Chains A and B, each alone.
Chain A
């Protein structure tokens, strides 16, 4: 079974804090993704990575950065958290060149106060 693990289920942070969301997958997948999900807006892609140290912007990268130093780990960084970044954050991974099925982690619900 594919396992995508997000380090925290719930996080509460203060405005201006630097926030790290961690994601680890155990299936040797090349591709990893960060989405945020908001009511009425659906799932929106923030960043993705197709290889170690490689990253591509998604639809809403502003205010976020990412890091992929190892194949199994993909981190999302909020440099200076703001209240409009309160959301559910979902990590996903899949194989490169495969049938593109994405497997999701359990999600991190982040509240920025």
Chain B
């Protein structure tokens, strides 16, 4: 079983600050990495995907991938209360079809 590890949190940041979410994975052969956001009682929605080492930016979100160290992170700039949710890290799995998900980090942005 390939592992995807996340700190469960809650991570609390003040409005306007940068939130930093981290994820480590065990399979060195993993090629695809995703961050999903999940509001309470809702289904996960994709916010970022990253496939190459380095940074990928999309609006207030930046995904960072370091395959040598086997970690992927998500930075949220200018955090808003509406960013309060659970963030799931996902990595492509053994079968090549399915994803392995971390258990998620709960983020709370306080006004």
Contact = CB atoms under 8 A, between A and B. Distances in A.
* Chain B interface residue number, banded: 20 to 34
A42 B49 contact: no
Given A40-B103, A42-B104, A104 B97 contact: no
Contacts of A59: 1
B interface SS class: loop
Contacts of A58: 98
Contact of A100 (B32, B43, B102): B32
A42 B106 CA distance: 12
A102 B42 contact: no
A99 B51 contact: yes
A45 interface: yes
Interface in B10-38: 32, 34
Contacts of B45: 104
Interface in A49-90: 50, 56, 58-59, 90
Nearest to A96: B97
Contacts of A41: 103
A50 B97 CA distance: 8
Interface of B: 1, 32, 34, 42-46, 49, 51, 88, 90, 92-93, 95, 97-99, 101-104
Return the 4 tightest CB-CB contacts between A and B, nearest first. A42-B103, A43-B101, A104-B43, A100-B32
